[in-house]
């Protein structure tokens, strides 16, 4: 059973627009929700992460919105730029877990 | 800065060959992981290790084995490479919950793109 479901699989956004990627999880024991950004030919790098004690976390143009009751979280990229074109993965884990559970990834293409 | 390095960025092997992929981390992390990444399938966990000589199967262990003789080094072994093992292989590491570090983060290496012909 897939523990973390991510959508959409791909996304095309115009420069300056807002990119939104959604994830849903099953296990209520998860208490750490990171987003990773991966450029072609590179390993994923941590972009931003949230704990469930807050509903939103913002770092520059990147915001995570978290809805604990719905077991959903999303990544918003404001003023999207061509340099944001990459694959984005959501994940879920817990401090007491050894493993991370990853979404299937979203390929973002920001058109100039 | 945490550094996770992988022995090769690109590798081409023939069907039936034994293949070794090596990963080294410099942050004294207890936990190390091997994933494979395929388009549309995301990251799938092959094996992970939570201590020297300790390992656990992930979601897709068939056709793979691992070795962890030193804390900083985790090797993935393809005993007899097959074409369906052509993929991007990613190594990662993190502190164990038992370490008391308080850190959740998992760090990835740059990946090895393996082609089996």
CATH code, domain carrying B70: 2.60.40.10
Average pLDDT over residues B42-63: 93
On the question of pLDDT at B98 being above 80, the answer is: no
On the question of pLDDT at A69 being above 70, the answer is: yes
On the question of pLDDT at A61 being above 80, the answer is: yes
Domain count, chain A: 1
Task: Enumerate the residues of chain B whose CB falls inside 8 A of the CB of residue A102.
Answer: 42-43
pLDDT, averaged across chain A = 94
Average pLDDT over residues A30-48: 93
Nearest by CB to B42, from A42, A89, A99: name it.
A89
Residue A22 pLDDT: 98
Q: Are A22 and A83 in contact (CB under 8 A)?
A: no
Residues spanned by the domain of B84 = 4-98
Least CA distance to A1: which residue of chain B? Answer: B59
Residue A78 pLDDT: 98
Residue-level length of chain A: 112
Average pLDDT over residues A66-87: 97
Domain count, chain B: 1
> Is residue B116 a part of any domain in this protein?
no
> Is residue B31 a part of any domain in this protein?
yes
What's the gap in Å between the CA of B82 and the closest CA on chain A?
Answer: 22
On the question of pLDDT at B2 being above 90, the answer is: no
From A95, A50, A36, select the one nearest B96 (Cα to Cα).
A95
Put simply, the answer to whether A43 touches B50 (Cβ < 8 Å) is no
């Amino acid at each position: 059973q897939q523990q973390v479901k991510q959508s959409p699989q791909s996304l095309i956004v115009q420069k300056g627009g807002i990119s939104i990627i959604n994830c849903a999880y099953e296990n209520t024991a998860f208490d750490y929700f990171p987003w990773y950004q991966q450029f072609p030919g590179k390993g994923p790098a941590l972009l931003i992460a949230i704990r469930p004690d807050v509903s939103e976390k913002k770092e520059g143009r990147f915001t995570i919105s978290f809805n604990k009751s719905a077991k959903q979280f999303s990544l918003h990229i404001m003023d999207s730029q061509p340099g944001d074109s990459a694959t984005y993965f959501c994940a879920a884990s817990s401090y007491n877990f050894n493993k991370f559970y990853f979404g299937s990834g979203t390929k973002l293409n920001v058109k100039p | 800065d945490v550094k996770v390095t992988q022995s090769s960025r690109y590798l081409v092997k023939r069907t039936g060959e034994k293949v070794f992929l090596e990963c080294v981390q410099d942050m004294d992390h207890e936990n190390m992981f091997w994933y494979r990444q395929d388009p549309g399938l995301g990251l799938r966990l092959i094996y992970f290790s939570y201590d020297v000589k300790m390992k656990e199967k992930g979601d897709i262990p068939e056709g793979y084995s691992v070795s962890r003789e030193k804390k900083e080094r985790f090797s993935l072994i393809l005993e007899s490479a097959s074409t369906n093992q052509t993929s991007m292989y990613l190594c990662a590491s993190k502190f164990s919950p038992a370490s008391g570090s308080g850190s959740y983060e998992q760090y990835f290496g740059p990946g090895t793109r393996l082609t089996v012909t």
